[in-house]
Amino acid sequence: MELTLECKARPTGSKSNALRRAGLIPAVLYGHSGTDSVALTIDAKTSEILVRDAAVNNSLIQMNVPDLPWSGKALLREVHKHPWKGTVYHLSFFAIGTHASLEVDVPLHFVGTPTAIKQGGAVDTVMTSLHVKCAPTIIPETIEVDISGMEVGDALHVGQIVLPAGVTALVDGEQLVLSILPPQGGKTETTEG
């Protein structure tokens, strides 16, 4: 998923709490110019929509900062929220080059119903996301894993997952993703009294 975000350079000497009261969220952009970082502000409503639609370390965002002037692609790296209100407090972004490779966590999406489920078996999921390396332009939103033919006792390992072209798993291929457990509680006990 790629989103577009308009933001402004943060005025020098501005206080974070004063910005929040004015409806602006403080943010920072790293990696756009070597080790330099830029303090930014984003409209509070825009930041709430961004956090709702984007996934940390997974969604590519087209950022436009007319005050610098700078525009480019970035990943949402961190989201800080108010402890009890749950509102966005601060955002961190990392600018990326178009040819760079990134390491990201991509959610696994299991499709199909294992044959064992019809026999009372259960799916024991060990991993729900996969750490991968790929170009920023091809970050998958999810990785689909078909588990429809699995029987009781079957196990799925990272090496068995079919990854999209250009995406490489950074996890050992023998690591367990999920297994199919046998039915539990086959017997029922009755007490006579």
List, for residues 23-78, the tens digit of each pLDDT value.
999 999 887 666 678 889 999 898 888 888 888 888 888 888 887 777 888 888 89
Contact 150, 160 (CB under 8 A): no
- Are 87 and 140 in a shared domain? no
Q: Which strands, in side-by-side order, build the sheet including 176-181?
A: 122-125, 176-181, 155-157
DSSP 73-94: EEEEEEEEE-TTT--EEEEEEE
- Are 10 and 63 in a shared domain? yes
Indicate the pTM of the whole model.
0.66
CA distance 161 to 102: 20
The distance in angstroms from the start CA to the end CA of the chain is 63
List, for residues 76-103, the tens digit of each pLDDT value.
889 998 888 888 899 998 888 765 688 8
- Are 7 and 57 in a shared domain? yes
- Which of 75, 95, 115 finishes a domain? 95
Name the residue range of residue 83's domain.
2-95
Return the residue matching tokens 């790929």.
134
Structural domain count, the chain:
2
Query: Which DSSP letter does residue 141 get?
Result: S
